[in-house]
Amino acid sequence: MAEPATLTGAPAPAQRPRPGAQRGAGGALRAYRALLGAQARSQTAYRTSFVVDLVGNVGATAFDVVTVVVLYGVTRELGGFTLRETLVIVGLSAFAFAAADLLVGNIERLSGYVRTGLFDAVLVRPLAALPQLLLMDLPVRKVSRVAFGLAVLLAALASARIEWTPARVALAVVAPLAGIVFFGAVFVLTATVSFYWIDSGQLANSVTYGGRDFTSYPVTIYGGWFRALFAYGLGFAFVSYHPALALLGRADPLGLPGWVGWAAPGVAGVAAAVAALAWRVGIRHYRSTGS
Amino acid sequence: MSVIELSDLRKEFTVRVKTGRLRRQKRTVRAVDGIDLRVERGEMLGYIGPNGAGKSTTLKMLTGVLMPSAGRATVCGLRPVADRTRLALRIGVVFGQRSQLWWDLPLRDTFALLRHIYRVPAAEHAARLARCRGLLDLDGFLDTPVRQLSLGQRMRGELTAALLHGPEVLFLDEPTIGLDVVSKQAVRGFLAELGRAGDTTLVLTTHDLADIERLCERLVVIDHGRVVHDGSIAALHRRYGSRRMVVAELDAALPAPPALPGAPLHRLEADGRRLVFALESASVAEVVAGLAGLATLRDISIVEPDIEEVVARLYRTPADG
């Protein structure tokens, strides 16, 4: 190409930006929506693989549910819970995890973003880093999993012979949302480790996916220190087990009081706050890579 | 107030070095070791140094990517990390090895997206894009997905992407790295135009000193995280005694080396038939006239000082800045 021509009379490229022009929440929201749109277009650019992924993704979640059903083929009760009761736990866990995985799960690629320099590119844009990363890489194909998880949850709630009260209806709505927030916080929290230690993926996976499997069963089937750590140390009991007890109107075989089931939103809030703090601190420790 | 102000800016990294099978030792690396710098509006600053000198680290601290370990930095009166998103609206960044573009989308879509991200009014955006399309010759590949672009095309896209919101300061980290000669010239020409408008402050790191000679009046050289030179290219030559040379080819060697006022003899080559004079206070004409009285001249050539050589020397000699 030729050397550019001189530009007398052309508008200056660098007019002073006018601070305040289209600033504020509305502007940022439009920006995030545009990011999401771009992501959807990028993914559907490979149409066949998108459809294959859409179908394949249901498989993974369906497998988790089938495992539970198969287990009940050999035993009538698991940790003191029947199949119908356990399915409420499974549904809560599957839906919350699938939705959190869709919305926040790709943050586990953070170490990759750090390595490739995408994270630097994100930091020089006038938007918060975390939402940008999530929207730029939102795995739209995982929508099918969320739909499947929701179907399992609704079917389980319908067949569990719950005595519905207004409070329980509210809990049936709030508990899955709290579960999404909780799993989302776990995703973010484990991903921030890669600000300090780039090859931390396996450790992160053992907590997030370990947590998902843990929440698919009544905590009574686990023993000793393992249960104490995952259920109450890390808080996974509040995703599905305790809300399910409250919905079913069952006392906790382990002896915790009934109100614990209603504490899920509070626990999720605390987890989100811790994750947000860790993220902020992590960004300050971010070291970037190479040139 | 200067557009960019750094005072005693530092960045330290701790690295763990393996010293035994299990033992590791912590070592502190000072990537940036106390840099003071002021850049005024409209300046074009070349920021150079050998690999690992701390160029990119400085740029990352100025753009809010990295948190300084100590010292102060302000850009457009803002603190880069604390006011990161506000600062981002007022600066443009091109990292030669980091893309701002959407890999699977055509450039046109990336540009539209950036308009939303930077909240630029449509008319302003369109005017700037039209200008870049003309200057950088983008029209041939605006609708090609970025992943299919050549490096030169991509870099022209990156430049456009960094300018669409009308930044006050443009940071360029190795903008010509890996480009072919034609693309390099296109990029340089474009940046020169930008500089001529006088509105945008430009900070450029590069390995290619031709970029600097073409674009920057001011040159900051850093080594081991410190500033070892800050001034014009001419000042650099003066300081390190690199001068223009006059090379004279004679028919026959002179019996004695000639003494010309203001142009000491630098070297004798080809058995005394080629003489190299360093130009100090004398002009080329004076040297030629002086020689013509002494011998028959076959050829005269003038050699400009080689900036690469000067800078290479700078890296080797420990300087106190």
A14 close to B (CB below 8 A): yes
Q: Tell me how far CA of residue B120 lies from CA of A13, B3, B92, B123, in angstroms.
A: 13, 22, 14, 8
pLDDT digits (tens, 9 = 90+) for B221-256: 888 899 988 988 778 777 776 777 888 888 878 777
pLDDT of residue A92: 94
Read off the tokens for B169.
């300061």
pLDDT of residue B319: 47
Ranges of chain A whose pLDDT falls below 70: 1-25, 45, 198-201, 289-291
- Work out the minimum CA distance from A122 to partner chain B, whole angstroms: 8
Read off the tokens for A47.
């149409």
pLDDT of residue A6: 32
CA A92 – CA A175 distance, rounded (Å): 8
Which residue of A11, A30, A128 is in closest CB contact with B116?
A: A30
Band of residue B321 on the pLDDT scale cut at 50, 70, 90: very low
B166 close to A (CB below 8 A): yes
Contact A15 B98 (CB under 8 A): no
Q: Tell me how far CA of residue A290 lies from CA of A115, B66, B163, B172, in angstroms.
A: 9, 13, 25, 16
CATH class of B4-238: alpha beta
Nearest to B202 by CA among B231, B164, B168: B168
Task: Collect all residues of chain B within an 8 Å Cβ-Cβ radius of residue A284.
Answer: 67, 81
Q: Which helix (H) or strand (E) segment is B9 a member of?
A: strand B4-18
Task: Collect all residues of chain B within an 8 Å Cβ-Cβ radius of residue A45.
Answer: 104-105, 145
Please state the rounded mean pLDDT for residues B48-74. Answer: 90
| Domain range list for chain B | 4-238, 243-304
Contact A124 B109 (CB under 8 A): no
A31 close to B (CB below 8 A): yes
B84 close to A (CB below 8 A): yes
CA B259 – CA B45 distance, rounded (Å): 40
Q: Which helix (H) or strand (E) segment is B218 a member of?
A: strand B218-223
Task: Collect all residues of chain B within an 8 Å Cβ-Cβ radius of residue A2.
Answer: 137, 186
Cβ under 8 Å to A: B residues 10-69 = 13, 55-56, 60, 63-67
Q: Tell me how far CA of residue B65 lies from CA of A127, A142, A145, A245, B127, in angstroms.
A: 13, 31, 35, 47, 30
Which residue of B84, B86, B186 is in closest CB contact with A3?
A: B186
Alpha helix (H) ranges present in chain B?
A: 55-62, 84-88, 107-117, 122-136, 151-163, 181-197, 209-215, 233-239, 284-292, 307-316
pLDDT of residue A14: 43
pLDDT of residue A15: 44
**Between these two residues, B2 and A51, which has the higher pLDDT value?**
B2
This prediction has a pTM of: 0.79
Q: Which of B65, B168, B185, B204 to mutate to test the interface with A (most CBs of A within 10 A)?
A: B65
Contact criterion met (CB below 8 Å) for A222 and A214: yes
Helix axis angle, A166-196 to A241-248, nearest 10°: 180
pLDDT of residue A25: 61
Contact criterion met (CB below 8 Å) for B204 and B169: no
Band of residue B273 on the pLDDT scale cut at 50, 70, 90: confident
Which residue of A5, A13, A124 is in closest CB contact with B64?
A: A124
Name the residue of chain A whose CA is nearest to B68's CA: A284
Cβ under 8 Å to A: B residues 208-237 = none
- b/e map A85-101, b = 16+ CB within 10 Å: bbbbbbbbbbbbbbbbb
Question: Nearest 10 degrees: CA dihedral of B228, B4, B100, B68?
Answer: 70
Task: Collect all residues of chain A within an 8 Å Cβ-Cβ radius of residue B167.
Answer: 14, 17
Strand-pair partners of B265: B277
Neighbour order of strands in the sheet with B70-75: B24-39, B4-18, B70-75
Nearest to B231 by CA among B214, B212, B215, B218: B218
Nearest to B54 by CA among B94, B12, B93: B12
Contact B117 A13 (CB under 8 A): no
Contact A121 B99 (CB under 8 A): yes
CA B27 – CA B14 distance, rounded (Å): 5
Task: Collect all residues of chain B within an 8 Å Cβ-Cβ radius of residue A16.
Answer: 166, 168
pLDDT of residue A273: 97
Q: Tell me how far CA of residue B73 lies from CA of A247, B8, B82, B236, in angstroms.
A: 56, 9, 11, 26
B169 close to A (CB below 8 A): no
pLDDT of residue A198: 61
Eight-class DSSP state of B141: G
**Between these two residues, A96 and B297, which has the higher pLDDT value?**
A96
A202 close to B (CB below 8 A): no
A-B interface: how many C-beta pairs under 8 angstroms?
A: 152
B117 close to A (CB below 8 A): yes
**Between these two residues, B220 and A17, which has the higher pLDDT value?**
B220
pLDDT of residue B163: 93
**Between these two residues, A11 and B315, which has the higher pLDDT value?**
B315
- Work out the minimum CA distance from A103 to partner chain B, whole angstroms: 20
pLDDT of residue A17: 44
Nearest to B92 by CA among B55, B141, B50, B59: B59
Contact criterion met (CB below 8 Å) for B100 and A29: no
Is residue B320 predicted with pLDDT exceeding 50? no
Q: Which of B58-67, B122-131, B139-148, B174-183 is predicted least confidently? A: B174-183
Eight-class DSSP state of B261: T
pLDDT of residue A223: 85
A158 close to B (CB below 8 A): no
pLDDT digits (tens, 9 = 90+) for B4-55: 999 999 998 887 777 777 777 888 888 899 999 999 999 999 998 887 788 8
Read off the tokens for B293.
């009285």
- b/e map A50-79, b = 16+ CB within 10 Å: eeebeeebbeebeebbeebeeebeeeeebe
pLDDT of residue A24: 56
pLDDT of residue B316: 65
Contact A34 B90 (CB under 8 A): no
pLDDT digits (tens, 9 = 90+) for B71-101: 999 999 999 999 999 999 999 999 877 788 8
The predicted complex's ipTM stands at 0.78
Neighbour order of strands in the sheet with B265-269: B265-269, B274-278, B245-250, B297-303
Name the residue of chain A whose CA is nearest to B138's CA: A1
Cβ under 8 Å to A: B residues 246-285 = none
pLDDT digits (tens, 9 = 90+) for B102-159: 888 899 999 999 999 999 999 999 999 999 998 888 999 999 999 999 988 999 999 9
pLDDT of residue B291: 83
- Work out the minimum CA distance from B185 to partner chain A, whole angstroms: 7
pLDDT of residue B279: 81
pLDDT of residue B317: 61
Contact B185 A11 (CB under 8 A): no
CA A130 – CA B84 distance, rounded (Å): 14
pLDDT of residue A1: 39
- Work out the minimum CA distance from A48 to partner chain B, whole angstroms: 15
- Work out the minimum CA distance from B51 to partner chain A, whole angstroms: 9
CA B38 – CA B8 distance, rounded (Å): 12
Contact A287 B13 (CB under 8 A): yes
